[in-house]
């Protein structure tokens, strides 16, 4: 089995088990059995269960980001604030680990949440939603009188609510996902878009530029 394929199989096994049993109850032996590889092979990819979880979380964050960005670029209204957030919510619904991270779900993530320098705290240091809203304002896509911090907090509340309502309501009481996120997107566009409107294609260009900038900053510096 190819090295990369084996690593993905290990991460897939970890994802399935941790979602089902929780991080604390899942062992490296469980993961090796689920993946169909030796325990030694698992340790070739990650030195510990904690490192495995963090590798899995990073993979899921990248998959989530890739999915919502692809939807933004493919949908006619994907470049509006409502269109972007609709894409984010649909992607979030497809990624249980992203949902667990956003909720800081103790049943899934367990003792990892008590780690002082855990990945969630590191990621939470930058308010990426507020940064996106500020850049959309500069591009003329969001009304200038909207406070980016407050707007970002409202978006986080909406995200959290979408993935948490199942804990307080039965499934048959919750509207179908598609119409629900469509309504949220329409609400956001009505609130955030300037009265003169905004070109969705310009918003898509902004997202592409942000992605390219992030990819450049992630690359190691070349020595002269």
Structure confidence by residue, pLDDT tens digits, 28-84: 999 999 999 998 888 888 999 999 999 999 999 889 989 999 999 999 888 899 999
What was the pLDDT predicted at 219? 52
- Domain coordinates of the chain in residue numbers? 1-47, 57-217
| Domain 1-47 part of CATH 3.40.225.10 | no
Residue 218 has pLDDT above 60, yes or no: no
What was the pLDDT predicted at 224? 36
Please provide the DSSP assignment of 180-215 as one string: HHHHHHHHHHHHHS-TT---HHHHHHHHHHHHHHHH
Q: Give the residue-averaged pLDDT of 195-216.
A: 80
What was the pLDDT predicted at 102? 86
pTM: 0.82
For the chain, give the number of residues: 224
Helices (H), the chain: 3-21, 28-35, 39-45, 49-74, 81-93, 96-103, 106-109, 119-124, 128-138, 148-164, 177-192, 200-218
| pLDDT band (50, 70, 90) for residue 200 | confident
Smallest CA-to-CA distance from 152 within 168, 167, 174, 137 is with: 137
Percent of the chain with pLDDT strictly greater than 70: 92
7-to-47, 66, 81 alpha-carbon distances in Å: 13, 20, 36
Q: Give the residue-averaged pLDDT of 154-161.
A: 92
| pLDDT band (50, 70, 90) for residue 159 | very high
What was the pLDDT predicted at 132? 87
The Cα 124–Cα 205 span in angstroms is 26
Smallest CA-to-CA distance from 85 within 71, 96, 99 is with: 71
| pLDDT band (50, 70, 90) for residue 145 | very high
Burial of 127 (0-12, 13-18, 19+ CB in 10 A): middle
| pLDDT band (50, 70, 90) for residue 213 | confident
Supply the mean pLDDT for the chain: 87
Its sign, for the CA torsion 220, 221, 223, 224, is positive
Assigned fold of 57-217: Tetracycline Repressor; domain 2 (1.10.357)
The Cα 156–Cα 94 span in angstroms is 17
**In which residue are the tokens 């670029």 written?**
73
What was the pLDDT predicted at 1? 56
Residue 135 has pLDDT above 50, yes or no: yes
């Amino acid at each position: 089995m190819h090295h990369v394929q084996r690593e993905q199989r290990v991460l897939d096994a970890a994802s399935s088990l941790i979602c089902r049993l929780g991080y604390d109850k899942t062992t490296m032996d469980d993961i090796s059995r689920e993946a169909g590889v030796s325990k030694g092979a698992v340790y070739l990819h990650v030195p510990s269960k904690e490192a495995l979880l963090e590798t899995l979380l990073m993979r899921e964050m990248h998959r989530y980001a890739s999915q919502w960005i692809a939807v933004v670029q493919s949908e006619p209204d994907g470049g509006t604030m409502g269109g972007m957030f609709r894409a984010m919510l649909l992607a979030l619904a497809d990624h249980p680990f992203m949902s667990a991270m956003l909720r800081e779900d103790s049943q899934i993530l367990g003792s990892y949440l008590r780690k002082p320098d855990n990945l969630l705290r590191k990621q939470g240091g930058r308010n990426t939603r507020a940064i996106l809203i500020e850049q959309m304002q500069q591009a003329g896509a969001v009304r200038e009188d909207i406070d980016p911090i407050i707007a970002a907090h409202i978006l986080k509340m909406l995200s959290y609510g979408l993935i948490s309502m199942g804990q307080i309501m039965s499934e048959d009481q919750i509207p179908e996902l598609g119409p629900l996120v469509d309504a949220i997107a329409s609400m956001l566009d009505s609130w955030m878009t300037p009265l003169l409107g905004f070109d969705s294609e310009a918003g898509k260009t902004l997202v592409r530029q942000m992605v390219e900038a992030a990819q450049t900053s992630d690359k190691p510096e070349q020595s002269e």
